[in-house]
Amino acid sequence: MLGFFKENSYIMVKMLVTQFGMTIFGTMLAMATGSNSTFLLVSSIFSILFYLYLLYVNGWEIGAKDKIRIDGGRMKEFPMKGFFLALCANIPNLLLAILMGAGAIISTATGAEWAANMSFICNTLARLLEGMYLGVIKLLQNALYPEWTILDVWWWFIIITLPAILVGWLSYYLGSKNIRILGVFGINPNLSGKKK
């Protein structure tokens, strides 16, 4: 496992940098459109889809590069590599969500102030790290759980990592099989730029 981290640390860092860039973009859009629920929802969905697209492009490219190594016999096929890369890149998100949940549960059960503070700090860090989801989380909280605070819905921060992990796995797998997502929908993009 240590070898996997060592060999793929650059890719995981690249995924995290993409997330940092998109969190700034998503947070700015959420702040600019926060007073209008419709604009907030649209901008948040756009930010999420754009983030997932960037992850898809990155994962597909890694899978396509690995396909060359696999075909040349220099690497064994590892279809779950994209899943593990995305999972490792999302460890900070998952860790913050788990600590936030643990703090909320302990604070509710025992009234421990340190647990409430830990939950609040982890929540703040998670919102800073996952800014592209802020609009959707805020609107869902207001619609589904208006009497709850954002600390009460800590489990959403686990759920929002799932699309990134799924896209990481799927994009790598498609790249390693040289399948383009547009091809699945019957669209054959002309990547060379030349007219046929």
* pLDDT for res 132: 87
190 within a domain of the structure (yes/no): no
Residue 153 carries which DSSP code? G
**pLDDT at residue number 190:** 54
Confidence of residue 7 (pLDDT cuts 50, 70, 90): confident
Domain of 38, in residue numbers: 2-181
Distance (Å) of CA 142 to CA 66, 138, 146, 153: 44, 6, 4, 11
Is 127 part of any domain?
A: yes
Q: Is residue 193 part of a domain?
A: no
Domain assignment present for residue 189? The answer is: no
Q: What is the pLDDT of residues 124-177, one digit of tens each?
A: 899 888 888 888 888 887 787 777 766 677 888 899 999 999 999 999 999 999
Which tokens sit at 79?
A: 């279809």
> Which pLDDT score, from 0 to 100, does residue 171 have?
93
Q: Give the pLDDT confidence of 58-108 residue by residue, as tens digits.
A: 999 999 999 999 998 888 988 899 999 999 889 999 999 999 999 989 998
User: What span, in angstroms and rounded, lies between the C-alpha atoms of 112 and 10?
Assistant: 40
- More reliable by pLDDT, 2 or 18: 18
Q: Is position 196 within any domain? A: no
Q: Is the Cβ–Cβ distance between 175 and 62 less than 8 Å?
A: yes
Residue 153 covered by a domain: yes
Number of structural domains in the chain: 1
Residue 187 lies inside a defined structural domain of this protein: no
Q: Tell me, yes or no, if the pTM score tops 0.85.
A: no
Q: Is residue 10 part of a domain?
A: yes
